[in-house]
């Protein structure tokens, strides 16, 4: 939940975009996914148990946030049980039971927007990139501020220019395969995606300027993490 919630919407009239989608991937693996139409997060988690979900269920954002808050103290709650009926979900511990109504509807085919067959691959320190984007955000307070990223060789050049707020240009060391490429990104969306990866190193996978960029965390353990950004 901590990984996918930052990608969900908050006030979109399409209720499923203000939600978290959960589906059974088999062999004890659950997939959690959320998107607001501009950013998308996916994580596969091996829970080591079978869950009675024959198809995906859509959990409202408010219910997912409350679950996350309660689960922060899970160490003191004993065994956790989670389940779903046709219209409701619940989780239960030795000390409490929390139930919520599921969103009625069909979730869009999010896998269609996750790109493949990449032409450019960039490996970079997540913290360094996050710090640079954070500094740019100070100069870019407007809601839909855009920044430019030039990928070439062993360097990413990040830049932002505004007649009102000034400009910034900062390089970052990186390892790249493929030809040089330049892209524009939403500052706030990029910050959100970078903020949810726990890994020290991330990989940016790029097809072209019309296709979302796929961001993956390095050194997976029991979870596969994908952050997907649309170009802005």
- Are 85 and 22 contacting, i.e. CB atoms less than 8 angstroms apart? no
Summarised one tens digit per residue, pLDDT across range 122-173 is 999 999 999 999 999 888 777 788 999 999 989 999 999 887 878 889 999 9
- Cα(28)–Cα(51) distance, rounded to whole angstroms? 7
| Token code pair at residue 44 | 């596969």
pLDDT tens column, 21-34: 998 887 778 889 99
- Long-range contacts formed by 9-13: CB under 8 A, 24+ apart: 9/35, 9/36, 9/37, 9/61, 10/36, 10/61, 12/36, 12/37
User: pLDDT of 96-121, one tens digit each?
Assistant: 888 999 998 888 898 888 888 899 99
Contact assessment for residue 133 and residue 190, using Cβ atoms and an 8 Å cutoff: yes
Asked if the model's pLDDT at residue 93 lies above 60, the reply is: yes
Question: Which of 59, 63, 25 has the alpha carbon at shortest distance from 44?
Answer: 25
C-alpha–C-alpha distance, residues 47 and 105, integer Å: 26
- Interval 33-62 mean pLDDT: 83
The whole-number average pLDDT for the span 4-23 is 90
Note the pLDDT of residue 222. 45
CA dist 195 and 134 (Å) reads 10
């Amino acid at each position: 939940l901590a990984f996918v919630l930052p990608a969900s919407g908050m006030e979109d009239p399409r209720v499923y975009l203000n939600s978290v989608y959960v589906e059974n991937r088999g062999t004890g693996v659950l997939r959690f996914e959320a998107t607001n139409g501009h950013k998308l997060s996916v994580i596969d988690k091996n829970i080591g148990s079978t869950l009675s979900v024959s198809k995906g269920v859509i959990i409202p954002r408010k219910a997912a946030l409350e679950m996350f808050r309660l689960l922060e103290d899970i160490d003191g709650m004993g065994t956790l049980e989670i389940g779903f009926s046709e219209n409701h979900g619940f989780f239960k511990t030795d000390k409490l039971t929390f139930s919520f109504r599921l969103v009625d509807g069909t979730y869009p085919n999010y896998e269609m927007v996750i790109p493949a067959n990449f032409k450019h691959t960039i490996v970079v320190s997540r913290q360094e990139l996050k710090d640079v984007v954070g500094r740019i955000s100070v100069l870019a307070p407007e809601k839909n501020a855009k920044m430019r990223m030039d990928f070439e060789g062993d360097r990413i050049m990040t830049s932002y220019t505004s007649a009102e707020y000034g400009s910034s240009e900062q390089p970052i060391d990186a390892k790249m395969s493929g030809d040089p490429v330049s892209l524009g990104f939403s500052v706030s969306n990029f910050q959100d995606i970078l903020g949810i990866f726990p890994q020290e190193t991330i990989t940016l996978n790029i097809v072209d300027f019309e296709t979302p960029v796929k961001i993956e965390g390095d050194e997976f353990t029991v979870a596969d993490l994908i952050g997907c950004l649309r170009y802005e």
